[in-house]
Amino acid sequence: MKKLVIFLLIAILLPLCASKTAEEEVSFNMTEIFNATPIDDTGYNISEGNPQRIVSLAPSNTEILFAIGVGDRVVGVTDYCNYPPEVVEKRERGELVSIGGYTTINIEKIVSLNPDLVVASYGNGIENIETLRRMGLNVIAFDPKTVEEVMRDIVLIGIATGEKENATKLVNWMVEKIEGVREKVRDKARVSVAHILWYDPIWVSGKNTFIDEVIRLAGGENVFKFEGWRTVSVEDLIAANPDVILVSSGSGMGGGRDVVYEWIMSDERLSGIKAVKGGRVYVVDADIISRPSYRLAEAVEIVAEYLHPEVGSKSKIGE
């Protein structure tokens, strides 16, 4: 069952592979972000509005909606939507309806909520998205491949909800935090990093992924040069010999034990890797580093602190 869950996580992450080359410096075109054409990633026109009944079909969308100030208008979320904590509290009180899983949304339940805006993701399945539209619902869907595209989509969600000003502030916060980290690590030696999502088989993040971009922004260099998320052997990991190993938290798409970390620390075959010998194996909240949300800025800060402890503690939103 755990293998099935982690494969689902990989399936969700694979569409998020970035288009930038490994050697390209990460940069943000703020003009493009703030003046993006109001069209979603399915070619659907986004109209400026003031929806009062919003359904979110992805945890990242839910985080963004609450962060830009429309959480009180959200009426439906997925089973995996768990941030901010208010989401879980409202669901427990019956103020938010669960519309199913991320890849297994319940069409009938969504329709029954009578939403005037549905914020979807490619991970929901394009057929489901088009079905909802054929049923007369206003559905916008996103498939961001870079941090910049996440910022753009935040602005577009702001337009669709009538909160572009708040969305702009949120993007500016992201840029401020990320640029603050980049300035601190600019002249520091790059630290070699491996990011491991799962261990049986060993799934790692390669180039042109969100996680690779976070690593580079934080002053690291991915030891795996292939593109996308792939499996590697124990021998591959040993040969890569990273200075730091980052592992996703939990036991799949949920909480519980940090099983990847436990495996690394208990497998004698890995004891000679520099990261293991040096005590530089770190657990990173899978929700923060894997979701195309504003919290990617926090992921950059967290990873930078692990790679370069001298940069100081990460700051929280609003600080």
Cα–Cα nearest to 15, from 207, 102, 144: 144
Lowest-confidence region among 25-34, 123-132, 213-222, 291-300:
25-34
Cα–Cα nearest to 27, from 294, 213, 222: 213
Cα–Cα nearest to 67, from 156, 166, 211: 166
Tell me the per-residue pLDDT of 102-130, one tens digit each, with 9 for 90 and over: 999 999 999 999 999 999 999 999 999 99
Mean local confidence (pLDDT), 254-259: 76
**CB 317, CB 173: distance < 8 Å:** yes
Q: Which amino acid is at 290?
A: S
Confidence of residue 23 (pLDDT cuts 50, 70, 90): very low
**The pLDDT value given to residue 318:** 35
Residue 134 has phi, psi (to 5 degrees) of: -65, -25
Residue 83, both tokens:
């941030």
Which residue do the tokens 């909160």 mark? 163
Query: How far are the Cα atoms of 60, 71, 102, 174, 246 from residue 84, in angstroms, in the given order?
Result: 11, 10, 17, 17, 24
Tell me the per-residue pLDDT of 84-104, one tens digit each, with 9 for 90 and over: 999 999 999 999 999 999 999
**The pLDDT value given to residue 250:** 84
Tell me the per-residue pLDDT of 135-173, one tens digit each, with 9 for 90 and over: 999 999 999 888 999 999 999 999 999 999 999 999 999
Report the C-alpha gap between 293 and 62 in whole angstroms.
9
pLDDT of 183 over the 50 cut:
yes
Please state at what angle helix 210-217 crosses helix 164-185, rounded to 10 degrees: 60
* Contacts by 134-137, CB closer than 8 A, 24 or more apart: 135/107, 135/111, 137/110, 137/111
**The pLDDT value given to residue 18:** 39
Report the C-alpha gap between 226 and 319 in whole angstroms.
37
Report the C-alpha gap between 148 and 312 in whole angstroms.
25
Domains and CATH numbers, the chain: 30-180 (3.40.50.1980), 188-311 (3.40.50.1980)
Mean local confidence (pLDDT), 294-300: 97
Task: Round to the nearest angstrom and report the end-to-end CA distance of the chain.
Answer: 41
What predicted TM-score, i.e. pTM, was given to this entire model? 0.86
Mean pLDDT score of the chain, rounded to an integer? Answer: 89
Listing DSSP states for 111-135 in one string gives: HHT--SEEEEEGGG-HHHHHHHHHT
Half-sphere exposure (Cβ direction) of 3: Cα atoms closer than 13 Å:
4
